[in-house]
Chains A and B, each alone.
Chain A
């Protein structure tokens, strides 16, 4: 279990290093570069974790497709971020470039939703028993729906209104908000699966993945509610980036945990 605990601690260590680095560079010209660099590194690690998980399986295995879809999301998001670099994308023109970025984000979100959906319904496919009553399950689902809609609802409405007025650039934000909301709603079945498998090796990827999605929810919450609780824009940026890093890195840890579980069974049992 030691390496699984290390996987759980890794994002927290990263977060501590991020806060130290951010505090050290705060107010300097290097601070925005630091924030952007750590964000892209975290996304790249999330991509690596999902690919590692998928590669642990064989062609046709159910969760292989799920992890490939999660990897697809991160790959498309990194591609979208690459369009921000001075690599000649500006030649496309502002409107077409915004459209391309919107398409990449829409694709990323669709991929994320499909992959998360597959992971979230694995318990049903595997005929697992959930360790809580139907009433508790309903309460958990209702709580998750309420929190997710409270956090993502205003952003979805704002972006939908902009897209409705013909703002192509808002398509990115709109797709991201809707994708986030749908993915985050799947926290409930992911959490129930993690609880059902608690104490077992198969539970580690689910526990880490659920933590990743909770971090993504907190990322959205920091952006949506940070100013209303008195955080200035700089503080909102740092807090949201911290939760984004947690979202990516717990995803990375979940992918590696999945890979370790699959490999460990073949090695130890054979």
Chain B
């Protein structure tokens, strides 16, 4: 089964592009969970998605960002 980091990057890639999806997961893993991407576990997901909120809000606004995060939460959890 793919890792949490891989699933999260795959869920973000259609929106942010593959390059920034990977970079974003790596950055947010370190920033919000204090771990390397490969060490991410499902329990890190809420903090990770919270950390992604400002990025998504900037590009698509709060309502769309929240809808997208809900979808990713269902897909990755």
Chain A interface residues toward B at CB < 8 A: 56-58, 60-64, 122, 125-129, 131, 196-203, 261-263, 265-266, 268-270
Contacts and interface: CB of A to CB of B under 8 A. Distances in A.
Nearest to A196: B20
B64 A196 contact: no
Contacts of A122: 58-59
B67 A63 contact: no
Interface residues of B, number: 28
Contacts of B16: 128, 197, 200, 202
Interface in B1-50: 13-21, 23-24, 27
Contacts of A127: 27, 54-55
A60 B57 CA distance: 11
Interface in B42-76: 54-65, 67-68, 70-71
B60 A269 contact: no
Instruction: Give chain B's interface secondary structure class.
Output: helix
Nearest to A264: B64
Nearest to B21: A200
A265 B20 contact: no
Nearest to A263: B64
A203 B17 contact: yes
A261 B14 CA distance: 11
Contacts of A201: 14-15
Interface of B: 13-21, 23-24, 27, 54-65, 67-68, 70-71
A202 B61 CA distance: 12
A269 B67 contact: yes
A199 B60 contact: no
A194 to B, nearest CB: 10
A129 B17 CA distance: 11
A70 B59 CA distance: 16
B13 to A, nearest CB: 7
A205 B72 CA distance: 22
Nearest to B12: A200
Contacts of A131: 19-20
Contact of A202 (B54, B59, B62, B70): B59
Nearest to B16: A200
A60 B20 contact: no
Nearest to A62: B58
A61 B61 contact: yes
A203 B24 CA distance: 15
A126 B62 CA distance: 13
Nearest to A60: B62
A30 B60 CA distance: 44
Contacts of A200: 13-18, 20-21
B55 A126 contact: yes
Contacts of A125: 54, 58
A266 B59 CA distance: 13
13 contacts: A56-B61, A57-B61, A58-B63, A60-B62, A62-B61, A125-B54, A129-B27, A197-B20, A200-B18, A261-B60, A262-B60, A263-B64, A266-B63
Contacts of A270: 67, 70-71
Q: Of A64, A203, A265, which is in contact with the most chain B CB atoms at under 10 Å from its CB?
A: A265
Nearest to B22: A129
